Amino acid sequence: MSLPLLLEPAELANHLDDANLLIVDLSKEQVYAQAHVPGAVHLDFKRLQTGTQPAPGLLPDDDTLSDLFSELGLTPDTQVVAYDDEGGGWAGRLLWTLDYIGHAHYTYLNGGIHAWLAADLPTSSEPHTPTPGDYEVSLHKAGVNVDLETVLAEYQNPDVVIWDARSEEEYAGIRAFAQKGGHIPGAVHYEWTDAMDKNDHLRVRDLDTLHQELAELGITADRKVITHCQTHHRSSFTWLVGKLLGFPHIAGYAGSWAEWGNHPDTPFEKSE
């Protein structure tokens, strides 16, 4: 079984009984308890980050991730479908993590639980517990996650573009959630929610339109794209958008602004 990266609710409904399918709901726990895709397991999105200051968005270590994915029953052949209740940030974080550890079979449910409910498809309110397995994280796929040293070395490279997915106020330095306010010099701003269709249950907007809007900002497939937000939660969705657009070199900066903005030696600028 191989599902596309972007899957519509009606398509997923036809695959609910497939073998080796793992549907992961990253919605708030109370939303999952009220209604979720039948067979979906709930994952607390906090487990995808260390939560440790000053850079809470960094990835947990391999042993912690191995325990998590063993608990979910992940195998190398498992087809993972992820969704959430916010338009794709936490679902994207899970898919980005899977990509980083070399798990190739992953899919995003377009629009998440909002689109599923709007399609009037069956739901469950009963928790679903996966059959645990024994998954060992040992591979780190190159070019998926970049660290602070890499961003420092590359942010001025004309073949690299930094995609800042935070709010306009954060980018400008009007709002700051770190010692420094503003953005990485030269970074391009395109807020994560701008890629969602608010009139179509938070589905990803038309890809051709997104491709054109991003190209006008210099975010193009011929450049290495590094995307970040505050903790690489929101920018996990923009990473996913880049994957959907076929960008061959798109990476997430897990440390994001929480790390960059609290580091004594990092350059920054504010909007005029």
| Active site residue ranges | 229
Q: How many CB atoms sit inside 10 A of residue 209's CB?
A: 11
Q: Give how far Cα 6 sits from Cα of 82, 90, 111, 169, 207, Å.
A: 10, 15, 10, 30, 11
How far, in whole angstroms, is CA 50 from its chain's centroid?
15
Q: How many CB atoms sit inside 10 A of residue 167's CB?
A: 17
Separation between Cα atoms, residue 256 and residue 232, nearest integer Å: 6
Which of these, 193, 233, 190, lies nearest to 215 by C-alpha position? Answer: 190
List, as one string, the DSSP characters of 33-68. HH-B-TTPEE--GGGGS---TT-TTSPPPHHHHHHH
Q: Where are the beta strands (DSSP E) in the chain?
A: 6-7, 21-25, 41-42, 79-83, 106-109, 145-146, 160-164, 188-189, 196-197, 203-204, 224-228, 250-253
Q: Give how far Cα 271 sits from Cα of 23, 181, 234, Å.
A: 41, 10, 21
